[in-house]
Amino acid sequence: MPYIYDNQNIFAKILRGEISCSKVLETKYSLAFHDINPAAPKHVLVIPKGAYVTYDHFAQTANDAEIIDFVKAIGQVCKILQVEPAQDGGGFRAISNAGEAGLQEVPHLHVHILGGRNLGPMLSKSQ
Ligand code: AMP
């Protein structure tokens, strides 16, 4: 099934400057900002500027420059947040929820970078 991008989603509005965000990093093809409802002491969202719905959509259709930029932006955000595992108390989790089963709320690709505390088990076994 082809991906249909909804350009009225909240991150599209942030990218167009219609809604503000607490910016952490901006590169040619990517933007990173603090999650409005943080689930950990450090919680940043990294998004590509292009119209991609999910990680697989991006991986399958973005060009190499966008992909390189996005991967490097995630690395830079880890550095800015000081969650690199080599640091004392460091470590992070990168999550990208996709689609219905992944409980994705915002239909624009985003990678959550979470850290600043022990993040517990990856998934609840009960659900
Ligand atoms: P997901 O469930 O993976 O789609 O997560 C969407 C995330 O976007 C949630 O963690 C929300 O708190 C976050 N979010 C929604 N609106 C905003 C906003 N305007 N600025 C920053 N983060 C937002």
Q: pLDDT digits over 35-82, tens only?
A: 999 999 999 999 999 999 999 999 999 999 999 999 999 999 999 999
> Whose alpha carbon is nearest atom 20 of ligand 1?
36
Mean pLDDT of the chain: 95
Q: Where do we find the tokens 């390189």?
A: 68
Spot the catalytic one: 43, 108, 110, 112.
Answer: 110
Return the structure tokens found at 1: 């099934």
Q: Is 110 a catalytic residue?
A: yes
d(Cα 5, Cα 78) in Å, to the nearest integer? 28
Q: What angle do CA 4, 16, 53 make, to 5 degrees?
A: 25
**Mean pLDDT, residues 1-5 taken together:** 86
d(Cα 107, Cα 52) in Å, to the nearest integer? 8
- Distance of CA 104 from the midpoint of ligand 1 (Å): 9
- Tell me what pLDDT residue 1 has: 67
- Tell me what pLDDT residue 115 has: 97
> Whose alpha carbon is nearest atom 12 of ligand 1?
37
Nearest atom (ligand 1) to Cα of 34: 21
Backbone φ, ψ for residue 57 (5° rounding): -60, -45
Q: Which residues line ligand 1 (CB under 6 A)?
A: 10, 19, 21, 33, 35-37, 45, 97, 103-106
Q: Is 56 exposed, middle or buried (0-12, 13-18, 19+ CB in 10 A)?
A: middle
Q: Look at 87 and 8; give whichever has higher pLDDT.
A: 8
Return the structure tokens found at 75: 């690395």
> Whose alpha carbon is nearest atom 13 of ligand 1?
35
d(Cα 38, Cα 53) in Å, to the nearest integer? 22
